[in-house]
Amino acid sequence: MNKTLLKIIIISIVVIILLYGFSDSYYANNITNISYVTALGIDLSEDEKNLKVTFEFMDVSQFSQNASSSEGAPILDTVTANSINSAINILDAYIGKQANLSHCKIVIFSDKVAQKGITSEITELMNNIQIRPSTNIVVCECEALEYLKNSTSALDKIITKYYDFFPNSSIYTGYTSDVTIGNFYNSLLSENYGNIAILGGVIPIVESESSSGGGQSSSEQSGSSQFEGEQSSSEQSSGNSENSSEENKNFENITPTTIVSDNVPIEGERGSVSIGIAVFKEDKYIGKLTALESLCHAILTDEVKTFTISIDNPEFYPIYIDLSLFHNVDNIIDIKIVDDTPIININTQFKGKVLGTKDDNETYKNLDINEISNASSKYLEKILNDYVNKTSSEFNCDINNFYNYAKKNFLTNDDWKNFDWSSKYKNAKFNINVKSDISFNLFGSEH
Amino acid sequence: MDKLTNKEATFLIILLITNVVILVACQAVVEDCSSSSLINGIFVSVIAIIITWIMCILLKKFGGMNLLDISEFLGGKFLKSLVGTIFLIYFLFTTVILLCKISDALQVVYYSSTSLIFILFMFIIAGGILVSFNNKSIYKANLIFLPITIIAILLIFVGNYKSFHFSNIFPILGNGVNSTFISGITNLFAFNGISIIYFLPSKLKDPSKITKISIIAMLISSLLFITCIAIILLMFNNNLVSSQIFPIYLAVRYIEFGSFFQRLDSAFLLFRVISFLGFLAVNTDLSLDIFKNVTNLSDSKPLIAPFMLLIFSATLFIRSNFSLDLFQHTIFKILFFAIVLAAGFTILILANIKKRRVE
């Protein structure tokens, strides 16, 4: 036989074998056979034995050139199953496509699920190669389904954009934390230390003027256009809207020390809020941090870079004052073990500017910058001390990862394990030293 | 075959070492030593460089002779055949283990609906075609793809800098002095690529440069080895090392340069596959060369298909019947110490003694 002919035959056979072998993967991964999940919500079923897993999809046809609106409408489908993987299987059969989690931006657990412990769910998700380690993890003080239904607003036309950017606010407010599933899983494996997640909640939606003009509230609109998969969603959302005026809270006494996702002084078109931090001991949700406590967490973990504080306590400074602080130098944390008690020394420093004051007597004309710096340092020392004491005495878990610094005192893993940091942390003593260097922004520079 | 230039030879050694390091060794080191992995990595690297230097000194006296020629000088045809067969098995073994590892990773990540047989078949066909080309082409292609691998590893280190927890290096002695310095010495198997140095003199244009080539290659490989360990240790500690997928790939998934440059893992896997094909081709070519030498064949090209089939069958056999962990850690280490270090060094030392007596 001709040599060239033989080569052609062999090449043809090889190509046919490879085409045959890889065709299954081609069909499985073909974009027409895939539905991309943008968010995952996990609730407990009514009997509390199963999981109610809600999948949020984007209607990608909304992004086509011929689409009249740029707003992508999320579609929600809820499946009750034993586990996330079995829910995915059932969903695949229901939608006739393969649900793909590679674009999943956020995983939301309801507080009830989180309180029972989420090791198995997190492990399931981490074992799914499609889930990115950068996927954010949220615990909401309501049903995860409700959080998802209320996660769109006029400001964020495309929901995935909102999911992409909202955790970034931790860098310039400190009121939440950019907790990813990768970091959560790593902490979960770190032997009984604390863990955190973003804390979410839902507030009543308020009618906007533009939408109420047409006699339809924004939430009603969202109910009819956004949640095609669920009839109940529109009912829920409109219900929120109707109740908004009744539930309008008295915001006068709300300060960062009390603000948390289910108690926020916000009236807006988006129902979901992510302020505060959910605290886990091992894999169980045990408590939450308010906005101010979350800021303290962000300061101690060097997550926040710039933030605003308001000193409204004569104990620190005679008049109300707003300061913008920059946290550009990493904290110096040193831990000594004395008689089996961890002594945690924290040195942190800030630069800042005076943003404004509230003073009827115009004493701002006589502001003393050194006094303001001292007041800022004392105030921060106080809130940081309150915060770390809360983590050690109330939560009894090291959510600031101080153990990373404590490990330096031990030579081997056996020594470290024998010390049993998780039980010693509750007796830890904290020495916090804050140095603030405040200057004037635009006014009062002559002083 | 055209002889190798110094650069090609240096890159050849690095290619063999980096593939083992990325796919198998750095995972094993972090598993064994935990927080003292970096110390162990540095310790093992220094020992590997010393071993290489001694190996080169012992080889230098034989000019352009490789280990097979030296074995023949020492013990005649019988010893040559024995040593050839042992090293042939060793090279095929390393190829099979790494092929298992990368095929598994590809199947998990991209081809979950495709049988492993087809993924292996794809590698075997590509490897067979590469080997059937002029031998020099493999080494020349390596000059292009290896730098990409090196840059990729350095980029992974830089890109993941924000995810590093530098406290993971504490407690400094990890699982203890024993696991770091005594049993930890078994992690020398990461430098399994030094086995090629035994066969390098006969392939070099200038065999007298073997020490320089080997030491430069070992310095670069050590740097990559330590960087890989640092990436895994500082990111995951020893939490994720038992993963089926090699942890360096998992580390790439964490890299995001803003919202535009995300999902660099696909690119990394592509370069990993290309680099592995180089490894597969070089190891097969070396095995064929040894077989040709031992059996005195004039042409080894007709043996490419049977050899590829052998690798294919062995890979399938191991994947179907055994746990890969046993092979990639325990047996790999045992074979490295028994064949590359013990057998290879014994022959070199005895041959040197004989040569001195003859002279």
Report, as an integer, the average pLDDT of A134-146: 92
Chain B closest-CA separation from residue A154 CA (Å):
22
pLDDT of residue A336: 94
Residue A380 has pLDDT above 90, yes or no: yes
CA–centroid distance for A313 within its chain: 30
Min mean pLDDT across A54-58, A250-254, B327-331 is at A250-254
Q: State which amino acid sits at residue A218.
A: S
How far is the alpha carbon of A424 from chain B, nearest alpha carbon, in Å?
Answer: 18
Evaluate if residue A261 carries a pLDDT over 80: no
Residues of A in Cβ contact (< 8 Å) with B114: 21-22, 24-25
Per-residue CA distances from B32 to B27, B176, B220 (Å): 9, 10, 23
Are the CB atoms for A247 and A241 separated by under 8 Å?
no
How far is B181 from chain A, CA to nearest CA, in Å?
13
Interface probe with A: pick from B104, B108, B114, B115, most Cβ of A within 10 Å: B114
- The secondary element (H helix, E strand) that includes residue A430 is strand A429-440
Judge contact between B154 and B22, C-beta under 8 A.
no
The percentage of chain A sitting over the pLDDT mark of 90, rounded to a whole number, equals 37
- pLDDT tens per residue across span A12-28: 998 898 888 888 888 77
Q: Considering only the beta carbons, identify the residue of B119, B167, B250 that sits closest to A404.
A: B167
Of B112, B163, B176, Cβ closest to residue A412: B176
Q: What confidence score (pLDDT) does residue A337 get?
A: 93
B115: closest chain A residue by CA: A21
Consecutive sets of 10 residues in chain B, 359 residues long: mean pLDDT of each? 88 95 91 92 96 94 91 93 95 94 89 89 92 82 90 91 88 91 94 94 91 96 96 82 77 78 81 92 93 89 92 90 78 93 94 90
Question: Phi, psi at residue B78, to the nearest 5°?
Answer: -60, -50
Give the residue numbers in A contacting B (CB under 8 Å), as ranges.
14, 17-18, 20-22, 24-25, 27-29, 129, 132-134, 164, 182, 185-186, 189-190, 404-405, 407-408, 410-416
Distance CA A3, CA A9 (A): 10
Q: Is the pLDDT of residue A47 over 80?
A: yes
**Residues of chain A with C-beta less than 8 angstroms from the C-beta of B168:** 404
Average pLDDT rounded to a whole number, residues A414-419: 91
Return d(Cα B101, Cα B31) in angstroms, integer: 17
Instruction: Report the C-alpha gap between B337 and B316 in whole angstroms.
Output: 26
Least confident of A68-82, A201-215, B23-37, B287-301: A201-215
- Tell me whether strands A284-289 and A277-281 are parallel, antiparallel or unpaired: antiparallel
What tokens does A96 get? 């006739």
User: Radius of gyration over alpha carbons of chain A, in Å?
Assistant: 26
Mean pLDDT over A95-121 rounds to 91
Q: For residue A404, list chain B residues with Cβ-Cβ distance below 8 A.
A: 165, 167-168, 170
- The tokens describing B89, both together, are 């098995």
Instruction: Provide the pLDDT for residue B3.
Output: 87
| 3 state DSSP class of B46 | helix
Nearest to A412 among B110, B125, B175 (CB): B175
pLDDT of A228 reads: 37
Measured between CA atoms, the residue of chain B closest to residue A15 is B122
- Tell me the shortest Cα–Cα distance from B39 to chain A, in angstroms: 13
Q: What is the pLDDT of residue A32?
A: 80
Distance from CA of B259 to the nearest CA of A (A): 8
pLDDT for position A150: 85
Q: What is the DSSP letter of A75?
A: E
Residues with Cβ within 8 Å of residue A67, at least 6 apart in sequence:
A61
Interface contact A29-B110, CB threshold 8 A: yes
Confidence bin at A235 (pLDDT 50/70/90): very low
Residue B32 three-state SS: helix
Query: Which tens digit of pLDDT belongs to each residue from A175-196?
Result: 889 999 988 988 888 765 789 9
- Give the minimum alpha-carbon distance from B341 to chain A in angstroms, rounded to a whole number: 31
Return the higher-pLDDT residue of A66 and A281. Answer: A281
Task: Give CA–CA dist A229/B350, Å, rounded.
Answer: 79
Return mean pLDDT, chain A: 81
pLDDT of residue B67: 94
pLDDT of A230 higher than 50: no
Structure tokens at B318: 């191991």
Nearest to B108 among A129, A134, A415 (CB): A129
The answer to whether residue A415 scores a pLDDT higher than 80 is yes
Mean pLDDT computed over A227-254? 45
Q: Does the pLDDT of residue A128 top 90, yes or no?
A: no
Supply the pTM of this predicted model. 0.86
B118 contacts A21? CB cut-off 8 A:
yes
Phi and psi angles of residue A239, each rounded to the nearest 5 degrees, phi first = -60, -45
- H helices of B160-258, where? 177, 210-236, 247-252
What ipTM was predicted for this assembly?
A: 0.84
Instruction: In whole angstroms, give the CA distance from residue A259 to residue A256.
Output: 5
Above 60 in pLDDT, residue A66?
A: no
Compute and round to an integer the Cα radius of gyration of chain B.
Answer: 20
Three-class secondary structure assignment of B47-83: HHHHHHHHHHHHHHCCCCCCHHHHHHHHHHHHHHHHH
The more confident residue out of B344 and A221 is B344
Instruction: Give B235 to chain A, closest Cα distance, Å.
Output: 9
Instruction: Tell me the C-alpha distance between B155 and B347, whole Å.
Output: 41
Predicted pLDDT at B240 = 62
- Residues B308 and A25: their CA atoms lie apart, in Å, by 25
Alpha-carbon gap: B228 to the closest alpha carbon of chain A (Å): 19
Angle value at C-alpha A132, between A130 and A135, nearest 5 degrees: 130
Q: Single out the residue of A253, A56, A65 nearest to residue A163, CA to CA.
A: A56
| Residue B261 pLDDT | 66
Q: What are the residues of chain B with a beta carbon less than 8 Å away from any beta carbon of chain A?
A: 34-35, 108-115, 117-119, 121-122, 125, 163, 165, 167-168, 170-176, 236-237, 239-240, 245, 250, 253-254, 256, 259, 262-263
Distances from the Cα of A16 to the Cα of A9, B88, B273, B302, angstroms: 11, 33, 22, 24
Pairwise CA distance, residues A178 & A411, whole Å: 32
Contact (Cβ atoms closer than 8 angstroms) between residue B43 and residue B184? yes
Which chain B positions have a beta carbon within 8 Å of A412's beta carbon?
171, 173-176
Q: How far apart are CA A291 and CA A170, in angstroms?
A: 10
**Of A347, A332, A340, which Cα lies nearest the Cα of A425?**
A340
Q: Which of A25, A404, A412 sits opposite B173 (nearest CB)?
A: A412
How far is A216 from A222, CA to CA, in rounded Å?
10
| Whether the predicted pLDDT of A50 surpasses 80 | yes
Q: Which residue has the higher pLDDT, A361 or B196?
A: B196
Residue A411 with chain B: CB contacts under 8 Å: 171-173
A276 sits in the region (left: phi over 0; alpha: psi -120 to 50; else beta) called left
Cβ pair A369, A440 in contact under 8 A:
yes
Two tokens at A67?
A: 């689409």
